[in-house]
A and B are shown apart, each in its own frame.
Chain A
């Protein structure tokens, strides 16, 4: 079965420090990979995606993610966290040949001043 795992319910980091939000996946073939962010009572906003090519993908607001095929991971990173980055982050995949997104359960990022 296709699945996405976000092993941490919450990540805590101090402002200015680097952050990592982990994501691993289990799908057949080479999937498309995505990160979305959700602020309270809002829809999901697209951050970045990996389709093909360079394994390091840069997205909005200083975020980046690295596709690691051997470890089936797509961890989200930011070198310097801001308090305003505090939100719920979702990793998602689309198996090749499908149009349905498979979501992880989300990781809450809390950046303290």
Chain B
């Protein structure tokens, strides 16, 4: 899983609550990404950031928010507006071509 850490590994949330997933990398990569993984659907891009203080929506950004205040950190907030947030969330970073992935956070809404 390289130099990318995600925490927590498991997260439980009550409906109506916002939760924040942490992603940190010590690889000095400029670009970072958040994906959502659901069974049988592969990985879908939520948000990505190619440089500090800048980020772009991916394919399924609704109900999520991010920030990129530091190069090393790209936290993802799952808001109460996300209708079906239970999933496995993966963070990745890249120096250019190809991506390195963190170990993932499994979020379950109770």
**Which residues of chain A have a CB within 8 Å of any CB of chain B?**
9, 32, 34, 36, 41-46, 49, 51, 90, 94, 99-101, 103-106
Contacts and interface: CB of A to CB of B under 8 A. Distances in A.
A34 B58 CA distance: 20
B94 A103 contact: no
Given A44-B90, A90-B43, A32 B103 contact: no
A34 to B, nearest CB: 6
Contact of B102 (A43, A94, A106): A43
B75 interface: no
Contacts, number: 55
A100 B1 contact: no
Nearest to B96: A99
A103 B104 contact: no
B41 interface: yes
B48 A32 contact: no
A36 B31 CA distance: 19
Interface string B40-53: 11110100101000
Contacts of B4: 43
Given A32-B98, A100-B48, A100-B58, A43 B103 contact: yes
Contacts of A46: 98-100
B42 A43 contact: no
A9 B90 CA distance: 21
Given A45-B101, A94-B97, 13 more contacts: A42-B103, A43-B1, A43-B90, A46-B99, A49-B97, A94-B98, A99-B31, A99-B50, A100-B33, A101-B33, A103-B42, A105-B42, A106-B40
B104 A43 contact: yes
Nearest to A44: B101
Contacts of A94: 97-98
Contacts of A99: 31, 48, 50, 94
A32 B97 contact: yes
Nearest to A96: B97
5 contacts: A32-B97, A43-B104, A44-B43, A46-B100, A105-B42
A52 B48 CA distance: 26
